[in-house]
Structure 1
């Protein structure tokens, strides 16, 4: 039967054409190593995208070739996103915080042909270049005046290449299921795995993310994505902002600097931003020390790790900013759930109950199906009590890892996320742990995440981690590691007493160790694997 509707392909090319024609005057503001406040419009950006597409062709790149980036959030990285994907190639964003051995592995595994690298990251690649046999050359994201001295072979200056290229370029048409981007997991166990996004998955993800009860971006917004563009497409904000015409502010290498973030928010009138909890702690610390405010800022999206209620409460009560949590992962493009606007039913609840929901991961967005299962793969009810392994499926969920020999999905076609959670009757997701991090003590499960959230709510605690350590009597007991705020002083007894009345008595950690810092993965998450390895022989106090 013939379809009565057109079958236009959902591609990033379509998004680019729309943004250039409809939102061409909207600004992109960037902080870069060679310019503290670069400005251009979407129209100007896409002209440069066409120049870059001609450069890619001149470099010998063809459709389905993979092009790597090591870069911050700025206008040049934005241009690479569009020029590469819209030319039918694959944009492979690399996390520069990975170990050199991991970078070497994923560049070779992805079969990257060229690497576009920020001037501040050139030294990272120099010792690796001879171990990257398929890489034909490097392009440094700089103008000629700021090109660094480098031993990289076949190296070019980005701006010099663009200056010689034409603005005329006819982008190819292709199927919406064509791969557009590649991102690797952080590889906490084994080698990192590649997730290959398509044009279709990216566009559908954008449609979902701009919905009013999710990011809620509109033409009236100025958004500042602090989540790195090398991590899961920067949560797709560099696609969703042009889709709706939101002004885009890119903090470049200053994404963790509270003073710069405050200046950008106030001077560019930022209304919405997105980043991991540590970023917002840095901003709060600067606001507290300086006495400044962020009057234009309306809402923040937090992801990548559970957000302590203290952050949510401080932004809400002191700065009138809403903090909204999201949950997802590289394999979900990354959006899975979002804790956006409350329904009238929830708004009628007592404030304490609303606050409990604020620290949840929110509800599944349309397009993502989630379920929880027990150890025998039996589906569990959403009753606010049953807790199980979270599985997902949907049009922007990974179907198979890139060039991977193992099994990605279960026999029923669901992806096991590795998280443990319960859902309440309203559909709110409450992550209780990662499968590999859950603690089983005396036959009962203990949530390390809930203990960590409780610990960091203490006013003297900067960061906390909880891991299960072997115990002679209870099989495992939770060990608490704490980083104190500067100038703070706590005893172990005082710290453990903080849990009284907040969690079940048998949940209270068996001991507390104060440390100067905690190990993190390349994506900024606590590295529980390293902590467990360091404290595997911990001597428990006599009971």
Structure 2
């Protein structure tokens, strides 16, 4: 087929998809809307734009050039939001450092990303002091401080953030450049080895913002994000740009609330005081909030929350629904920018009872616009739709990372066959709702049967005395593998739990035909806590190492 390319008039403006263009509409439509940082800072969108300009000037004065990398180590804050824009808008790369990694891993990511300037919250100075002298690339350090005071440190600090901005003008003429320029880099913790760097361009971040917003804004009633909402992330800004929602919230021009370090009393206070209506978090955070004694004093009805990062159990979903929370699942991964699917409910589904709703809300959901999802077998052949059929989720979308930074081998594995491989096994129902049944590496193979660790976790979590559960496969000489259930009891409920109680509970679902008899765990171990990754997911690699 012959190409018929659009002819461009010499004077026509091509309008590259750059992050700076996300700032236009809020400055026109909602310039007086607020950005809030805890109980410390409150300013409007006009001020946000001015501070972004000041930060751009400050970075240039520090020697940052297009193509350089600026790293940030901070809690969720207005400063981080300013960096989300100013750093890539001058043509530099924003590295959002995972502050929950070990000092050695942080050192690796700083050097691997070749950070030139590092903005660091005073609370993380001890981490940098541990690795000082081994950081090869960083030339300048900027202190991020709520107090503005200079703490005692052996690190050579070049400037304090607010003082730096105060010395710079607000007007900055942000240039146009190729929309495929890298805008962000961050590191995802894998199952083995050092973290892997993923990266995204201006074009990808703009398209992800538009695609996610189109999916969030179109439901008839449930789970909508609109200009009347108040947004507060409870997913770290260092992790996949807080799932991309700060960009979306800014583009919409809605009120934004940044909580700093996550503490349940602070989060609940901000939700109540600032009338937060939209958030996202991992199941661990929602568990923490629902278990906090102060929750009875907060009206959570109307609070919309996307749960991602790990499967949401029906028990957690129903507990949240009981508080009036509009809770539902979203799905993605670090490599996908991240949002791929959302579990919105149609008006007819909302007429169902709590159990029927929970079934849908806990599913992986349906793909966003511009997201192509396939379920395939080991040979990349599509598997048929249906609850009994499962395959790996592979995807195509304009906002997927194009590889791992400086890692050709793993990049090719990620994109084998021209689709990005998620490593997640799922099935699809007749309405197109996906349901992840497990990670490929976490499926328990026992006696010729495959057991979904996620499904078994969900069943055990329905026991009224269980607070949290993880299920892993353990080697078994006779059956290959058998499930081990690691259970955390609810406060004051330890006496009501023993191994037989858990097995009897699971056997009830076997008798109903929900799962096979192979699912009843031979071993149940009661623990005080379950190991998590740096972003709050159950760390099954660590659990297998610990209990092997």
* Cα pair distance change 1:91/1:476, threshold 3 Å: same
Match in the other structure for 1:539: none
1:26 aligns with 2:26: no
Q: CA deviation at 1:195?
A: 1.1
* Cα pair distance change 1:271/1:95, threshold 3 Å: same
* Cα pair distance change 1:249/1:88, threshold 3 Å: same
How many angstroms apart in 1 are the aligned matches of 2:69 and 2:155?
19
Q: Tell me if the contact between 1:213 and 1:341 (Cα under 8 Å) persists in the aligned partners.
A: no
Q: Tell me if the contact between 1:302 and 1:324 (Cα under 8 Å) persists in the aligned partners.
A: yes
Q: Tell me if the contact between 1:137 and 1:155 (Cα under 8 Å) persists in the aligned partners.
A: yes
How many angstroms apart in 2 are the aligned matches of 1:6 and 1:50?
23
Q: Tell me if the contact between 2:268 and 2:295 (Cα under 8 Å) persists in the aligned partners.
A: no
Q: Tell me if the contact between 1:209 and 1:216 (Cα under 8 Å) persists in the aligned partners.
A: no
1:276 aligns with 2:282: yes
1:457 aligns with 2:469: no
Match in the other structure for 2:187: 184
Q: CA deviation at 1:100?
A: 1.2
Q: Tell me if the contact between 1:270 and 1:297 (Cα under 8 Å) persists in the aligned partners.
A: no
1:108 aligned counterpart, secondary structure: helix
1:450 aligned counterpart, secondary structure: helix
Q: Tell me if the contact between 1:258 and 1:285 (Cα under 8 Å) persists in the aligned partners.
A: no
Q: CA deviation at 1:2?
A: 2.9
Instruction: Find 2:169's aligned residue among 166, 169, 177.
Output: 166
Q: Tell me if the contact between 1:25 and 1:42 (Cα under 8 Å) persists in the aligned partners.
A: yes
Alignment of 1:116-135 (within 5 A): 116-135=119-138
How many angstroms apart in 2 are the aligned matches of 1:65 and 1:19?
28
Q: CA deviation at 1:289?
A: 5.1
Cα-to-partner distance string for 1:83-107 (whole Å, 9 max, x where unaligned):
1011111110011111111111111
How many angstroms apart in 1 are the aligned matches of 2:177 and 2:417?
31
How many angstroms apart in 1 are the aligned matches of 2:383 and 2:155?
55
Q: Tell me if the contact between 2:305 and 2:325 (Cα under 8 Å) persists in the aligned partners.
A: yes
Match in the other structure for 2:43: 40
State the number of aligned residues.
527
Q: CA deviation at 1:144?
A: 6.5
1:137 aligns with 2:137: no
Q: CA deviation at 1:466?
A: 0.6
Instruction: Find 1:224's aligned residue among 232, 242, 250.
Output: 232
Q: Tell me if the contact between 2:211 and 2:368 (Cα under 8 Å) persists in the aligned partners.
A: yes
Q: CA deviation at 1:524?
A: 1.3
1:291 aligned counterpart, secondary structure: helix
Instruction: Find 2:527's aligned residue among 515, 522, 529.
Output: 515
Q: Tell me if the contact between 2:289 and 2:295 (Cα under 8 Å) persists in the aligned partners.
A: no
Q: Tell me if the contact between 1:391 and 1:417 (Cα under 8 Å) persists in the aligned partners.
A: yes
Match in the other structure for 2:505: 498
Alignment of 1:393-412 (within 5 A): 393-406=396-409, 407-412=412-417
Match in the other structure for 1:14: 21
How many angstroms apart in 1 are the aligned matches of 2:447 and 2:478?
8
Structure 2 residues without counterparts, runs of 5 or longer: 510-514
* Cα pair distance change 1:143/1:440, threshold 3 Å: closer
TM-score normalised by L of structure 2: 0.92
Match in the other structure for 2:389: 386
Compute the RMSD of aligned alpha carbons.
1.8
Q: Tell me if the contact between 1:360 and 1:430 (Cα under 8 Å) persists in the aligned partners.
A: yes
Alignment of 1:280-359 (within 5 A): 280-286=286-292, 288=293, 291-295=296-300, 297-317=302-322, 319-342=323-346, 344=348, 346-347=349-350, 352-359=355-362
How many angstroms apart in 2 are the aligned matches of 1:428 and 1:103?
38
* Cα pair distance change 1:411/1:355, threshold 3 Å: closer
Q: CA deviation at 1:6?
A: 6.2
1:265 aligns with 2:274: no
Q: Tell me if the contact between 1:115 and 1:135 (Cα under 8 Å) persists in the aligned partners.
A: yes
Cα-to-partner distance string for 1:210-241 (whole Å, 9 max, x where unaligned):
23257632210101111000000001111000
Q: CA deviation at 1:409?
A: 4.1
How many angstroms apart in 1 are the aligned matches of 2:6 and 2:522?
67
Q: Tell me if the contact between 2:315 and 2:458 (Cα under 8 Å) persists in the aligned partners.
A: no
1:441 aligns with 2:454: no
